[in-house]
Amino acid sequence: MNIIDVYRIRDILIENQNILFWIPTRAWRDENLRRLLIDRIQPLENHRMMMSIDPSNSKEEIEKLKEDGFSTMYFGDNSDIEDRILCQKTWNKEDGYCQICNEGCFSEERVDVHLKRH
């Protein structure tokens, strides 16, 4: 993702306000992109943006994402993250679960979703 992509995504969100979009990304690792995500995408309501993390990320990076109000999704041994939500699709092999899920990736609240696998 680059700066132009953030503006393209914003345009798509604005032009399709009746659709709920899921946006998994690692763009948060670039400070310029992170700031744009906060300023240009986060205020819009028709998306669920999930910051992708994995065991290579530090506790400090994860805490900063939480402070900025970002939801996270991760795989691997991140057992130190409290109140994580286990993804029913990847942990329990419940195909189609994403369509009815409102507590994980599609929650209106900030959440930490733990995937068993990608």
Per-residue pLDDT reduced to its tens digit, 98-111? 888 888 999 999 99
Per-residue pLDDT reduced to its tens digit, 8-34: 999 999 999 999 999 999 999 999 999
Is the pLDDT confidence value at 43 over 90? yes
Quick count: other Cβ atoms within 10 Å of Cβ 111? 18
pLDDT at 79 over 90: no
**Total tally of structural domains belonging to the chain:** 1
Q: Is the dihedral of CA 15, 12, 105, 36 positive or negative?
A: negative
Alpha-carbon gap, residue 67 to 95, rounded angstroms: 32
Q: Specify whether the CB–CB gap between 57 and 51 falls below 8 A.
A: no
In the chain, pLDDT over 90 holds for what percent of residues? Answer: 68
How far, in Å, CA of 67 to CA of 80, rounded?
17
Pairwise CA distance, residues 38 & 86, whole Å:
26
Checking if the pLDDT of 6 tops 90, the result is: yes
The boundaries of the domain holding residue 41 are: 3-115
Residue 33, CA distances (Å) to 56, 57, 58 in order: 20, 17, 19
**pTM for the full predicted model:** 0.87
Report how far residue 96's alpha carbon sits from residue 45's, in angstroms, rounded to the nearest whole number. 24
Q: Are 18 and 47 in contact (CB under 8 A)?
A: no
Question: Is residue 118 scored above 90 in pLDDT?
Answer: no
